[in-house]
Amino acid sequence: MSLSRKRKKELRKLQTQATSLWESQQVLVGQAANVAREAGRQLGHLNREEFRPRVQAGYQTYAAPYVEKGRKVVNSTVIPAAGAVVGSAMSVWDAANDTRARLASGKGISLPAGWGKPAPEPVKKGIGAGGVIAIILGVAAALGVLYAAWQTLRADDELWVADDPLRAPDA
């Protein structure tokens, strides 16, 4: 396919214009990248100087007192009560196991002197309501302890405050 001189000249002119347009677009994209980078830096400054202090102040004012009250209630009331219930349930469980072991070995139940030997009552099978309550409270106490440990040991990255908030971030 042969082109006339006029067509070749027009195509060269079009190619020159396209190259010029491409170069100007590359410059424009570079400037847009610089503007976007600076906008990101400014947004970081705004976050550190304005938003984070407001959020922290709001947390300290509104949420922190209730969180602290909740921790105090759990530490001073729930955990000791659950520990007492679990301890009582375990001592009852140990006494029941001891009695069951004596009955199984044929020693029977030792009664105080002067007591007659009444007819033995039928042995209940399964766990009673007290046992179920003790297990539920034990599991709740264990979950409370695990939750408190998790809250203590987790990383609070969103609560972190820079030592020098006026220093520019590294880009």
Query: Is 159 a domain residue?
Result: no
Query: Is 169 a domain residue?
Result: no
Task: Tell the residue number behind the tokens 């396209």, with chain if given.
Answer: 18
Query: Is 163 a domain residue?
Result: no
* Domain count for the chain: 1
Query: Is 168 a domain residue?
Result: no
Which range marks the domain in which residue 52 is found?
7-105+128-151
Query: Is 71 a domain residue?
Result: yes
pTM tops 0.85? no
The one-letter amino acid at 22: W
Q: What pLDDT, in 10s, does the model give residues 100-137?
A: 888 877 776 665 555 655 666 767 677 777 888 888 99
At residue 171 the predicted structure's pLDDT band, cuts being 50, 70 and 90, is very low
Query: Is 160 a domain residue?
Result: no
Query: Is 19 a domain residue?
Result: yes
Q: How far apart are CA 56 and CA 165, in angstroms?
A: 14
Query: Is 102 in contact with 108 (CB distance < 8 Å)?
Result: yes
Query: Is 29 in contact with 37 (CB distance < 8 Å)?
Result: no
Q: Please report which residue ranges of 47-124 form alpha helices under DSSP H.
A: 52-58, 64-73, 79-104
